[in-house]
Amino acid sequence: MAGPADYNTMENDREALMKLFHLSDLHIGKRVNEFSMIEDQKYILSQILHAAKRERPDGVLLSGDIYDSTIPSAEAVQVFDVFLTELSTNRIPTFIISGNHDSAERLAFGSSLMGKSGIYFSKVYNGTIEKIPLQDAYGTVWIHLLPFLRPAVVRHALPERAEEVMCTADAVRIALEQDLVDEQDRNVILAHQFVTGAKRCDAEELQVGDLDQIPAELFEKFDYAALGHIHSPQKVERDTVRYCGSPLKYSFSEAGQEKTITVIELKEKGTVELRTIPLKPLHDLRKIRGTYLEVTAKTFYENSDCEDYLLVTLTDEEDVPDGMAKLRTIYPNLMRLEYDNKRTRSAADIGTAERVEEKSELELFREFYELQNNQSMTAQQKALVEELLRGMKA
């Protein structure tokens, strides 16, 4: 199988161990509370490039959700093109899979040609998982590219096993059964799925059933599973099944996190060392809280960056007229203004109870799916959920 083995050995300054950068969920082109994040994304990708030039990894792993839309803007595509060109120019192989926000077909365009420049994209899933070899002093490391899978994709690619695919866990398990893994070598897999036990952010914390979940045991043959999809950095069951998290904060539930690059160092079979490189954003995303007089006092904000992206929670009992406009004279990137007082707490308690009681299980699941996937359920998915719900009530 063709691979970048010769591409690697051209670098005389490589260390004996295999060093990889693990990144995911770039979401290039994303808007947060109607604020474009494109300049922030350019800034953070530039930091990642500086780290790559300094550390000289043997590969960069990008585990899905490259773009925030299946049809990314021209500007988003250009930003990613600049990033990949710099990595290729610096002879750093890059391995990329599609996520649930990406179009697998669009992302794979030109992949055969770009592979000659050390840029490897996952193909549209056709029943096989592409794997690419890297070489170091300890032998071969196989990089397996598993694109984001839905059950329908696996049913279509493997019609002889379609009846076995009832949920995402079945789909991924069957796809991995087709992947020949030589356990004498070291194996790294890129995947973009929700592994059971992972902690989500914001809407990701809402769970109805487990149709999209897969067990961590599916990756037991791999020395490292480079996961994407969850924006909070974390391990799942073992240190080497890991979400690296997004490189930027895209929701206020991430406000307290430090974003990083996960660095994987593979030595002899069975020895994997992990560390992180911190990333500093152009604008932090954080929360502040207090009365209107408190948050507008110079002593409150003079030692902080007023251009950060902010969620301001005012504790005044009365709403401040034109509060958003007034606060933006101090905090120009104020994204959200909320109130926490007797009125809002009472309204929230009543509204939540009424909304949940009025909705069917199917409606709740549909809302959950739309929050998680940024798109509506298909008729086939709706029919499958209805069938499962009927079975649970039987």
Judge whether residue 370 has pLDDT over 70.
no
Same domain, 57 and 132: yes
Same domain, 172 and 23: yes
In this structure, is residue 387 part of a structural domain?
no
Q: How far apart are CA 156 and CA 142, in angstroms?
A: 26
Judge whether residue 41 has pLDDT over 50.
yes
In this structure, is residue 348 part of a structural domain?
no
Same domain, 259 and 333: no
- Number of domains forming the structure of the chain: 2
pLDDT in tens, 175-229: 999 998 999 999 999 999 999 888 877 634 334 445 689 999 999 999 999 999 9
Judge whether residue 13 has pLDDT over 50.
no
Closest by Cα among 124, 94, 131 to 3 = 131
Please classify residue 35 by burial: count the beta carbons closer than 10 Å to its beta carbon, then call 0-12 exposed, 13-18 middle and 19+ buried.
middle
CATH number, position 35: 3.60.21.10
Residue 224: which residues within 8 A CB-CB, separation 6 or more?
20, 188, 189, 240, 241, 242, 264, 266, 272
Mean pLDDT, the chain, whole residue set: 88
pLDDT of 9: 43
In this structure, is residue 389 part of a structural domain?
no
Same domain, 195 and 157: yes
Same domain, 237 and 183: yes
In this structure, is residue 349 part of a structural domain?
no
Percent above pLDDT 70 for the chain: 87
Q: Domain boundary at 278, 295, 319, which? A: 278
Same domain, 199 and 81: yes
pLDDT of 368: 72
**4, 226 in Cβ contact below 8 A?**
no
Judge whether residue 306 has pLDDT over 80.
yes
Two tokens at 134? 């890297």
Judge whether residue 281 has pLDDT over 90.
yes
Q: Domain boundary at 261, 278, 295, which? A: 278
What is the pairing mode between strands 59-63 and 94-97? Answer: parallel
Same domain, 165 and 219: yes
pLDDT of 241: 97
Phi, psi of 142 (to 5 degrees): -95, 125
Same domain, 271 and 315: no
Same domain, 269 and 292: no
pLDDT of 116: 82
Would you call 49 helix, strand, or coil by DSSP?
A: helix
Same domain, 299 and 271: no
Cβ atoms within 10 A of the Cβ of 256, count? Answer: 9
| pTM as predicted | 0.83
Cα separations in angstroms, 336 against 21, 314, 325, 333, 372:
34, 11, 11, 9, 21
First to last CA, the chain: 51
The H or E element spanning position 238 is strand 238-243
- Kindly state the average pLDDT of the residues 113-140: 92
In this structure, is residue 368 part of a structural domain?
no
pLDDT of 2: 37
Would you call 114 helix, strand, or coil by DSSP?
A: helix
Domain range for residue 240?
5-278
Percent above pLDDT 90 for the chain: 74
Judge whether residue 134 has pLDDT over 80.
yes
Same domain, 229 and 209: yes
Judge whether residue 24 has pLDDT over 80.
yes
CA 218 to chain centre: 19
In this structure, is residue 178 part of a structural domain?
yes
Cβ atoms within 10 A of the Cβ of 136, count? Answer: 20
**328, 307 in Cβ contact below 8 A?**
no
Name the amino acid, one letter, at 198: A
DSSP characters over 187-222: EEEEEESEETTPPP-GGGG---SSTTEE-GGGGTT-
In this structure, is residue 155 part of a structural domain?
yes
In this structure, is residue 179 part of a structural domain?
yes
Q: Domain boundary at 300, 316, 343, which? A: 343
Please classify residue 378 by burial: count the beta carbons closer than 10 Å to its beta carbon, then call 0-12 exposed, 13-18 middle and 19+ buried.
exposed
pLDDT in tens, 79-97: 999 999 999 999 999 999 9
Same domain, 252 and 311: no
